[in-house]
Amino acid sequence: MILVLVILLAIALVVGVYFVMIYNALVQVKHNVSKAWANIEVLLKQRHDELPKLIETCKQYMKFEQDTLQRVIEARSRVHAAAQSQDIAALGPAEGALRMGLGNLFALAEAYPDLKANASFQQLQSRISALEDSIADRREFYNESVNINNVRIEQVPDVIVARLLGFGPFKLLEFTAEETRDVDVKQLFT
C-alpha cells in the first residue's frame, strides 16, 4: 500500500514538474514574441521621427512633387496608427504603402541634383534606408518568434498546457505580393 502511494506521488511529482517546465517554456516563447514586436516598434518610432525631417528637406527642392510627399506623409500616419494599436493586419499594407512611397521619393530625388547633393538629404536617406533594413530584419525575427509560439501551442503535450492556461496564437506580419513588389522607377519619370 505504501509502495503504491509512493509510486503515485512520484508520478504526480514528475507530471507536475513536467507541467511546470512546459508552462515556463510557453511563457518564454510568448515573451519572445512580445520582445520581437517591441523591437519593431522601436525602429518604427525612429523612422516615424526621421521622415518629417526628410520630407521637409525634400519640400525645399521638390516644388512639383507634392503628391508624392503627401502619400509618404499619409502612409507614415497609417504605419504609426497600426503600430500604436498593435494591429498586425493593418501594419502590413501600411508598411507596403510607405515602402512604395519612399521608393518613389528616392527615385524622384534623382531628378533634383541640388536635393541629391544636399548633405542633410543624403544623411536622412541613408538613415532611413538603414532603418528599413533593420525593420526587415526585425520583422523576420518577429515572424520566427510567432512561428515558434504557434507551433509550440499546437504540439503535444504543449497543446494541453496551452489550452488549459489560455496561451493563444499570434498573427504573422505578412505582406501581399503587391506590397512587396519593386518600385517601377522608369514609370516615375514618364
**Domain holding 31: CATH number?**
1.20.1440.20
* Per-residue model confidence (pLDDT) at position 182: 54
> What is residue 61's three-state secondary structure?
coil
* Per-residue model confidence (pLDDT) at position 190: 43
* Per-residue model confidence (pLDDT) at position 64: 65
Residues 6+ away with beta carbon under 8 Å from 169: 146, 149, 150, 153
Say if CB 144 and CB 29 are below 8 A apart. no
* Per-residue model confidence (pLDDT) at position 164: 94
Reported as type and span, the H/E element at residue 31 is helix 2-59
The whole-model pTM stands at: 0.75
Residues 6+ away with beta carbon under 8 Å from 67: none
- CA-CA distance, 185 to 162, in Å (whole number)? 49
Residue-wise pLDDT for 62-102, tens only, equals 766 778 888 888 999 999 999 899 888 888 888 888 988 88
- CA-CA distance, 31 to 12, in Å (whole number)? 28
Cα 174 from chain centre = 9
- Which residues form the domain of 93? 2-188
* Per-residue model confidence (pLDDT) at position 180: 52
Total count of domains within the chain: 1
* Per-residue model confidence (pLDDT) at position 189: 40
Q: What is the mean pLDDT of each run of 10 residues along the chain (190 residues)?
A: 92 95 96 95 91 84 77 90 89 88 85 82 88 92 96 95 95 70 47
* Per-residue model confidence (pLDDT) at position 181: 53
CB-side neighbour CA atoms (13 Å) of 17: 5
CA distances for 177 relative to 92, 93, 180, 182, 185, angstroms:
11, 11, 5, 10, 18
Q: Return the axis-axis angle of helices 88-109 and 66-84, rounded to nearest 10°.
A: 150
